[in-house]
Amino acid sequence: MSKAIDSPALSQSPTLEGADDERKSALATLPSSDAPASQANKPPAGPPGPMQQDPSLILQGKKLAVVFTAMLLALFLIAVDQSILATALPRIASDFNAFDKQGWCSSAFVLTQTAFILWFGQFLRIYSAKWTLVGCILLFEVGSIICGAAPNVMAIIWGRAISGVGAAGMFVSMLQILAQVTRLEDRPKLFGLFGGCFGAASVIGPLAGGGLTDHAGWRWVFWLNLCVGAPSLVGCTFLLKSMLPIGADPTKRSPRDLLRQTLRMDWIGATLVLGAVTALVYALQTGGNQKPWSDGGVVACFVVAGVLCVAIFFWMRYKGDSALVPPAVFQKSPVSVCGICGASFFNRCSLLMISYAVPVFFQVTRHHDATKSGVDLLAYMLSVVITVILAGRVVSATGRYWYFLVGAPAFGAVGAGLLYTVTPSTSTAKIIGYQILCGVGTGATLQNSLFAMQAEFRDEMRLVAQATGVASFSQFLGGTVSLAIEQAALSTQLAKNFPIYAPQAPLAVIKESPLEIYSLPSDIVPSAIFAYVKSLKIVFVIPVAYYGLGIISALFINNISIKPPAAAKGDAKDAEEGKIAPVEEPKEKAEEDVAKGVAEGEVARSEGV
């Protein structure tokens, strides 16, 4: 029996704007078997319910390539911006004499990006993903202009915060568009290319940042965003098609309706999340660095973050479906969803911690400048890029992503454990090999954790934006927490080891820039290098725990096959050849299909088909 039209649930599927959308909407609102055929064209009633992906929106071939290229440009903009700033920060801090605020130039971006991920997940239930993406690219560029023209470091911090909001909307919008226009079984390959683009930009960024900072000035780090953002903006504006948000009611799209829905968004929940993330980031940023962990302000921030987390939990339960994160996201498969969040969190933790530690190691032991130390990280980043792409293709071919999430982190744990054994005299070849192991462990899980969340909600498309937002939020929160833990752990170890192994070295100066070791008297340099490398070991051993916790989290994720069901076709063929007995459809099911066929005919005749 034909199952192309499958009950009023499909009336909530995303549709393209225009006359064709109205026709699809009419076909999707067919009545049940006991409703008169004359009511076939009436608009749907009742609240939106579970739904599956609308097959009419699936793109393939050249059309998909065009849409995906536009989104890759936007992703490249975010990825380059995050990595290019790292090499410029010391120069910015020096020019403005603001070394104490240097960390906030990067943390402000990560903070707002993390805090607004969930908000945009709800925003995309009201507004088109295309125009949200375009608007957020513009917002991102506004932040870059503020930074490029900044008269002081506070202007840079505010500009980075604005760019972080834009980056959050861009990221969630791209994932939403992919969920609408691609088949689930094709998505791993595309997610792999997403990860590859991100990894490639992470390689190019530090090299470009170092070159621009040394030869053109650090302001060009931000002006470059305009050069990259312009084609991205044009591509997304003219290559993407605007679609109704998943679950949106096409009869309620007037400006007044949109304003009413916007005002009903969970603004209190968004404020609570922003407050919790800000308090946590501030505590982690200052504790162990600018202030001791026992400082009253640091302790108070941890307490505030904890209290706000509890408040968020109860507020979300109170708001129900209108919450920033509807409880339905966790009710569908709570253990698996929590496992995905954990895997996303710990994967991002290990990625950023190793990305930071390896360049610092080469700066200290090989006297490499910022640009050269970016080259030293190529082995890790290229292995991440290649593994992300290959894993995506394997998942598309086999239909299984769970084995990567469970097995791949073991390679990373081995690699991080080997990095823990390095000394100032360890050969570069060995360190490259250790980086490759870590890259395989990170790359095979980087995008699969996000994809796992979309697979969980393949039949609940109305929730896919917010569910994917939860996984993305876990990733970015992991990065924020990881960098803060890394800085605090390294600072603590430096304070412990330098008085023992290099008591004559000026630790306060070396903390600001490891390369200052080589400005010390020659008889002090070897002991200072030894003390720094010994302190750096803590940064290599922590990812071992991250990889292990990632494996444990992945064990709770549902092992779902994303291959399209072909059992029915095979059974029909076997039945025809007499290998198995044909199974009769229940009488009720047959009558329902007949009624649907009659209804389809009525709609077709009314449209002159």
Rounded Cα distance between 187 and 178, Å, is 8
Q: 559 and 574: one domain?
A: no
Residue 493 maps to a domain:
yes
Q: How many domains in the chain?
A: 4
| Domain contains 25 | yes
398 and 379 belong to one structural domain:
yes
On whether both 47 and 64 belong to a single domain, the answer is no
Are residue 247 and residue 294 in the same domain, yes or no?
no
Rounded to whole angstroms, the Cα distance separating 242 from 234 reads: 14
Residue 1 maps to a domain:
no
Question: Quick check: is 551 in a domain?
Answer: yes
- One domain for residues 416 and 507: yes
Residue 559: inside a domain: yes
Which of 399, 406, 409 minimizes the C-alpha distance to 351? 409
Domain shared by 418 and 439, yes or no? yes
Q: Give the Cα separation of 182 and 64 in Å (integer).
A: 8
Q: Are residues 46 and 65 in the same domain?
A: no
- As a whole number of angstroms, the distance between CA 230 and CA 393 comes to 31
Task: For residue 439, give both structure tokens.
Answer: 């890259």
> Residue 40's pLDDT is what?
41
Nearest to 116 by CA among 74, 169, 156: 169
Unique residue bearing structure tokens 């190793």: 354
Is residue 269 within 8 A of residue 236, CB to CB? The reply is no
- Report phi then psi at 243, rounded to 5: -125, 150
Is 313 in the same domain as 340? no
Mean pLDDT by 10 residues, the chain (609 residues): 38 39 41 42 42 63 79 81 72 73 76 86 85 92 91 90 91 83 78 76 74 78 84 81 75 84 88 89 76 84 93 90 85 88 91 84 83 79 87 85 92 94 90 93 85 82 79 85 81 88 84 80 89 91 93 92 59 46 45 46 41
* 509: Cβ contacts below 8 Å, ≥ 6 apart: 516
Q: What is the SS3 string spanning 39-102?
A: HCCCCCCCCCCCECCCHHHCCCHHHHHHHHHHHHHHHHHHHHHHHHCCCCHHHHHHHHCCHHHH
Q: Is residue 241 domain-shared with residue 316, that is, in the same domain?
A: no
CA dihedral 374, 377, 382, 385 (to 10 degrees): -90
Longest CA span, the chain? 94
Find the domain containing 412 and state its range: 334-564
Supply the pLDDT for residue 382.
Answer: 86
Cα 223 to Cα 417: distance, rounded to the nearest angstrom: 40
Instruction: Decide if 220 is inside a domain.
Output: yes
163 assigned to some structural domain: yes
Domain match, 402 and 520 both? yes
Pair 192, 319 in one domain: no
| Residues 529, 533, 537: CA angle, nearest 5 degrees | 170
Q: What CATH code is carried by the domain that includes residue 100?
A: 1.20.1250.20
Q: Torsions phi, psi of 415, nearest 5?
A: -65, -45
If asked whether residues 549 and 595 sit together in one domain, one would say: no
Q: What pLDDT is recorded for position 593?
A: 46
